[in-house]
Chain A
Amino acid sequence: MTIRCEIVSQDRTVFEGDVDIVVLPGADGEMGILPKHSPVLTTLKYGIIKIRRGGKEELFTVAGGVAEVQPDIVTVLADAAENIEEIDVERAEAARKRAEEALAKGVPADTDAYLAVEAALRRSNLRIDAVRRYRRGSRIPGSES
Chain B
Amino acid sequence: MASAREMRLRIRSVKNIAQVTRALETVSASKVRKAIAAVTATRPYATKAWQVLKHVAQQPGRESLHPLLAERTSVNKTLVVVITGDRGLAGAYNSNVIRFVASRFDNHPVPVKYIAVGRKGRDLLIRRRKNVIADFSNLPAAPSFADVSAIGRLAVDEFMKGEVDEVYLVYTDFVNMARQVTTVKKLLPLELVGEGLVEDFGGQHNGPQAAYEYEPEMNEILDEIIPRFTALQVYQAVLESLASEHAARMVAMRNATDNAKELVGELQLAYNKVRQQTITNDILDIVGGAEALAAK
Question: In the complex, are the beta carbons of B146 and A41 less than 8 A apart?
Answer: no
Rounded to whole angstroms, the CA-CA distance of A112 and B144 in the bound complex is 14
| Chain A residues within 8 Å of B211, by CB | 39
Q: How large is the interface on A (under 10, 10 to 19, 20 to 34, 35 or more residues)?
A: 20 to 34
CB distance from B216 to the nearest CB of A (A): 5
Tell me how many residues of B have a C-beta within 8 Å of chain A.
27
CB distance from B185 to the nearest CB of A (A): 20
Residues of B within 8 A of A (CB): 41-42, 44-45, 48-49, 51-52, 55-56, 145-146, 150, 205, 208-216, 220-221, 224-225
Given the known inter-chain contacts A66-B225, A70-B205, A77-B45, please indicate yes or no for A27 contacting B216, CB distance below 8 A. yes
Instruction: Please tell me if A2 contacts chain B, counting CB pairs below 8 Å.
Output: no
Question: In the complex, are the beta carbons of A43 and B215 less than 8 A apart?
Answer: yes
Given the known inter-chain contacts A39-B210, A42-B214, please indicate yes or no for A116 contacting B146, CB distance below 8 A. yes
Q: Can you give 20 contacting A-B residue pairs, CB < 8 Å?
A: A6-B48, A8-B45, A10-B45, A11-B41, A12-B41, A13-B44, A27-B215, A27-B216, A27-B221, A28-B216, A40-B213, A42-B215, A43-B215, A43-B225, A66-B224, A68-B52, A71-B209, A73-B205, A77-B49, A112-B150
Question: In the complex, are the beta carbons of A10 and B51 less than 8 A apart?
Answer: no
Extra contacts besides A27-B216, A112-B146 (15): CB < 8 Å: A9-B45, A10-B42, A10-B45, A12-B41, A12-B44, A13-B44, A27-B215, A28-B216, A31-B215, A39-B211, A40-B213, A41-B213, A70-B55, A77-B49, A116-B146
Instruction: Please tell me if A138 contacts chain B, counting CB pairs below 8 Å.
Output: no
Rounded to whole angstroms, the CA-CA distance of A26 and B221 in the bound complex is 12
Question: In the complex, are the beta carbons of B55 and A68 less than 8 A apart?
Answer: yes
* Interface class of chain B by DSSP: helix
Rounded to whole angstroms, the CA-CA distance of A12 and B39 in the bound complex is 11
Our pick among A11, A38, A77, A112 for the contact of B52 (Cβ within 8 Å) is A77
Those of A74-91 within 8 Å (CB) of chain B: 75, 77
Question: In the complex, are the beta carbons of B52 and A41 less than 8 A apart?
Answer: yes
Our pick among B44, B51, B209, B214 for the contact of A40 (Cβ within 8 Å) is B214
* Chain B residue at smallest Cβ distance from A29: B215
Most buried by B among A11, A26, A40, A41: A41
CB distance from A45 to the nearest CB of B (A): 11
Question: In the complex, are the beta carbons of B215 and A10 less than 8 A apart?
Answer: no
Rounded to whole angstroms, the CA-CA distance of A120 and B225 in the bound complex is 21
| Chain B residues within 8 Å of A43, by CB | 215-216, 220-221, 224-225
| Chain B residues within 8 Å of A39, by CB | 208-213
* Chain B residue at smallest Cβ distance from A115: B146
Question: In the complex, are the beta carbons of B51 and A75 less than 8 A apart?
Answer: yes
| Chain A residues within 8 Å of B49, by CB | 77
Rounded to whole angstroms, the CA-CA distance of A36 and B45 in the bound complex is 24
| Chain B residues within 8 Å of A73, by CB | 205
Rounded to whole angstroms, the CA-CA distance of A39 and B60 in the bound complex is 14
| Chain B residues within 8 Å of A70, by CB | 55, 205, 208
Instruction: Please tell me if A72 contacts chain B, counting CB pairs below 8 Å.
Output: yes
CB distance from B234 to the nearest CB of A (A): 14
CB distance from B79 to the nearest CB of A (A): 22
A-B complex: 9 closest residue pairs judged by Cβ atoms: A42-B215, A41-B212, A13-B44, A8-B44, A68-B52, A40-B213, A8-B45, A11-B41, A39-B212
